[in-house]
Structure 1
Amino acid sequence: MNRRLLYLFLIVLAGCNESQENLSNAFFSGEIVNPTSDYVVLYKGNAIIDSSALDKNNMFSFKLDSIEDGLYHFKHAPEYQNVYLKKGDSLLIRLNTVDFDESLVYSGKGEEINNFMMEVYLTKESEKKSITNYYRLEPKDFSRKIDSLQKIKLDLLKELDVEIHFTEKELEIAKADIVYSYAKFKERYPFKHKKLSKDKKSPKLNKDYYAYRNKLTYDNKDLTYLRPYYEFMVNHFGNLSYMSCTHGCDIKDNMAKNHLHFNKHKLKLIDSLVIEKELKDNLFRNVAVDYLLKVHDTQENNKIFMEVFHALSGDNRHMAEIDDLYAGINNIQPQKRIPEIELTNFEGEKVSLPNISKNRKTVFYFWSGTNRKHLKDISNRVKHLSRIEPNFSFVGINVKTDQDDWKSLVNASGFDPSYQFRSDDFEQLTKTLIVYPMNKCIITEDEQIVDAFGDIYKSFP
């Protein structure tokens, strides 16, 4: 432990000694090596609890009064990770952003549960490749493999509890972290196996395959923001919707192609089963974003979906975001004029999108200086397309890069500066043009949109 970390640790201990009379307090502090932001932000669920600016030694510190025991998460943009905090904790971390998760270590009072969950998280990450291969197995063999991986972690938790004596809530969170992680893979299995084996039908599962569903809870606020629990729920409702539609809906075999029906069905299932309000809101948001961003359905179908969404989720905490997304998608439909957004050209002048695309066929694509691999790939792609598609002007829009870096990267990448522009307002750009994913391109002809949901790699040969 270096001197700065030791010094901070002593301060935390001193603070704890002075606070013995108030055991409802908790301390959470640490050091960020190679920081990528000036702040650490602490969240409880979706709400910001507090933020701490890094000092000159890259240290942060939180003193939390009257803390509610449970799962929190801290964010050092763009990364975040969970942390379990309870009354009386004096928790210290040290991490290096070069290997954010791998380098994260907890020490002090409260370290045991957090280090255990961190080790489980890293182990699960290392297992992903093996589990991908397990999807090829028959159901019985797949279940055996997954159950074995889960049992190893649960046995370790049981052994550690004998030594540490975790609280009831700590045990609940740690166990759920394990169980829902592996249940998620079981929910995915029928679809992954069918795809990998190229079978026309889903594999036949024995009656005990989904036995873990008997202990499912849809009403535990403590689990709402536990990542494995939420990921499980997303996969679980996708599975339930598919199976119930396939066996119970009139359209049956056409269901997979009828995205509107499938997503309406999913909303209704979530509404009927999920009790916990924040979990329901988050799952509704997931369905809406997934449908609106990825399906690219007709305006008529989008409208029908939104009517159902509003009817079932009128007070959803994400309603404004979904309404904005829907409005943005409506505004970039074919034959509409490209939105009046101002960009900055290489000479520092403001130019609007309609002016850029006037009297010519234009392909707008997006890049950022924060992702060098994407920049390299897209610059090569644009050079290729410029040769084989001379009737189009390929125009780059940069985001999340300061002006000097942007100009340097344009020159280093071999882009033509006269076809490069920069946005100062990433939020406005993404909300108006629906910049998702980053490989997206927008094809226009004389200011009119031809395809606002193109792909720079797929829309051209």
Structure 2
Amino acid sequence: MNKISFYLFFAILGGCNVGENKSSGIYFGGEIVNPTSDYVVLCKDDSILDSVRLDENNRFALKLDSVTSGLYHFDHSPEYAYVYLEKGDSLQVRLNTVDFDESLVFSGKGEEINNFLVELFLANEADEKTVNSYYELDPESFNFKVDSLVAIKKNNLDQLKSQVSVPQDYLDIAMASINFNSYAFKEKYPFIHRRRVHQKSIPELPPNFYDYRKKINYNDRALAYYRPYYDYMVINIGNMSYMNCMNKCGDKGEGFNKLHFNEHKLKLIDSIFKERDLRDNLFRNVAMDYLLKTRDSWDNNRIFMEEFHKYSDNNEHIAEIDDVYQGIQNLRPDSKVPNVLVYDALGHKVDLQKISKKYENTVFYFWTGTQRMHFDNMARRIHQLSIERPDYTFIGINFNTDSTRWKAMVELNKLDTSTQFRSDNFQELTKALIIYPINKGIITKDGLIVDAFANIYGSF
């Protein structure tokens, strides 16, 4: 939690001045080095307030006349960061996407509290590595170590309060970041400890181990979209669902059944969470986690969706979840490949069914120009597989990349243009083909699906 980045800012921007804003509105601008998108988007919770295109110098400026003081986030795809804005603020940010969080620095009115949020985020990230070495400790020693890290951050927050005026809702946000990060470690402790010390069951915990739960507001509207708070709730739901199952379902072993375990999660969310946005998002998390990350039977998927609708039929994300479920159903073995249109190297539209019928054995794989490391790794893997498995034709489908950049990447990396295609409709592509995880592959034979959820690295 040092102040090095504060001084780096002046070394970097030197004479850049941010004038005092005497209005009740907000000015928010800055510079994006090595941009990965053309736009910066300012959001409050899940609502877009404004967006602006970067100029020729990769700078942007937003002026908002009527805003409420509080926590916002600005997105520069695929990254985002939080910013606390107050009426009258004139705030600038500078960052380099090569090292997004570490390079993030604010200046101007409101810089102190926003730079502290950045330092707090980086400290929480560093704690992940530190706490990772604590999980083998006994519960009391583990708690002591984690609480010591919390004390350091709270001391730094006290120092900030002594130097600048800090709004109460900002203090609530900073304390949430400190506390819920530590609470998450404690929720994970018994399960990671069990693995580390090679025990069959979780350790016996002191009666007061989870006492912090008594202080938690599980329906805090102000924090519903704040990542440390939300992430903790996801972990907490998993922990309590497991414990409830072990206590109520006995030693039937059903707690390890994917469907049964997720049914516990649905019931728990329904019983605890009443705040609408948080409740809907947590239900969505369980549904997406189950549908996308577990390869359960088709019948179990159907049963889960029936349970989901029973508990959350008015969920604001219901259409999206139903679409994912239907998309998975459409990808059963022996089904035709969904008839999605993509572009070839000449700019002509062609459908995936036609491509899949062209070859006896086909593997569709996916990549995007916004994740260079993933693309490089995938290109090497496909080159290797093309040599090892000449009986397959590997077809690359690109998304979220403009045509010019896509062609340049294909040519620069000497990819076979006859097996490279691009989609300009990411929503249609993901809805029809369920592109999760990004390393997935779709194996077809004579135009029919063999395995729509193969893994490029593990299925060959």
Structure 1 and Structure 2 fold alike (TM over 0.5): yes
Structure 2: distance between partners of 1:142 and 1:42 = 39
State the partner residue of 1:304. 303
Report how far residue 4 of structure 1 moved.
Answer: 8.6
SS at match of 2:133: helix
Report how far residue 285 of structure 1 moved.
Answer: 1.0
**Deviation per residue, 1:84-141 (Å, 9 max, x gap):** 1223333232223332222222223322221211111112222322222222222222
8 Å Cα contact 1:5/1:30 also seen in 2: no
User: How many residue pairs end up in the alignment?
Assistant: 450
Report how far residue 48 of structure 1 moved.
Answer: 1.1
**Aligned counterparts, 1:14-33, within 5 A:** 16-17=21-22, 19=23, 23=24, 25-33=25-33
Change (3 A) 1:250 1:26: same
Structure 2: distance between partners of 1:244 and 1:228 = 24
Structure 2: distance between partners of 1:162 and 1:62 = 31
Report how far residue 214 of structure 1 moved.
Answer: 1.0
Structure 2: distance between partners of 1:100 and 1:75 = 12
Change (3 A) 1:403 1:163: closer
8 Å Cα contact 2:36/2:370 also seen in 1: no
**Aligned counterparts, 1:345-424, within 5 A:** 345-358=344-357, 360-424=360-424
Q: Normalising by the residue count of structure 1, what TM-score does the alignment of the two structures yield? A: 0.91
2:225 counterpart of 1:225: yes
State the partner residue of 1:71. 71
Instruction: Report the AA paired with residue 297 of structure 1.
Output: D
Structure 2: distance between partners of 1:350 and 1:162 = 63
State the partner residue of 1:38. 38
Change (3 A) 1:196 1:4: closer
8 Å Cα contact 1:113/1:174 also seen in 2: no
Instruction: Report the AA paired with residue 356 of structure 1.
Output: I
Structure 2: where are the runs of 5+ without partners?
Answer: 1-9
State the partner residue of 2:4. none
SS at match of 2:37: coil
**Aligned counterparts, 1:122-161, within 5 A:** 122-161=122-161
Structure 2: distance between partners of 1:454 and 1:193 = 32
Change (3 A) 1:6 1:56: farther
Structure 2: distance between partners of 1:378 and 1:247 = 45
**Deviation per residue, 1:177-220 (Å, 9 max, x gap):** 10001111111111222222222111221112111111011121
Report how far residue 280 of structure 1 moved.
Answer: 0.8
State the partner residue of 1:425. 425
**Deviation per residue, 1:238-277 (Å, 9 max, x gap):** 1011111111125642321x11111111011011111211
**Aligned counterparts, 1:324-335, within 5 A:** 324-335=323-334
Change (3 A) 1:263 1:350: same
Change (3 A) 1:406 1:26: closer
Report how far residue 74 of structure 1 moved.
Answer: 0.9
Report how far residue 352 of structure 1 moved.
Answer: 2.2
Structure 1: distance between partners of 2:345 and 2:56 = 36
SS at match of 1:37: coil
Backbone CA RMSD of aligned residues: 2.3
State the partner residue of 1:264. 263
SS at match of 2:205: coil
Structure 2: distance between partners of 1:393 and 1:279 = 45
Structure 1: where are the runs of 5+ without partners?
Answer: none
8 Å Cα contact 1:5/1:31 also seen in 2: no
State the partner residue of 1:9. 18
Report how far residue 147 of structure 1 moved.
Answer: 0.8
8 Å Cα contact 1:245/1:252 also seen in 2: no
**Deviation per residue, 1:301-327 (Å, 9 max, x gap):** 212211222222122221121111111
**Aligned counterparts, 1:269-280, within 5 A:** 269-280=268-279
State the partner residue of 2:82. 82
Change (3 A) 1:139 1:3: closer
State the partner residue of 1:322. 321
Which range moves more in the overlay, 87-96 or 276-285? 87-96
Residue identity (%): 51
Structure 2: distance between partners of 1:281 and 1:109 = 36
Which range moves more in the overlay, 346-355 or 106-115? 346-355
SS at match of 2:32: strand
SS at match of 1:9: coil
SS at match of 1:60: strand
Instruction: Report the AA paired with residue 68 of structure 2.
Output: E
Instruction: Report the AA paired with residue 328 of structure 2.
Output: I
**Aligned counterparts, 1:158-177, within 5 A:** 158-177=158-177
2:343 counterpart of 1:344: yes
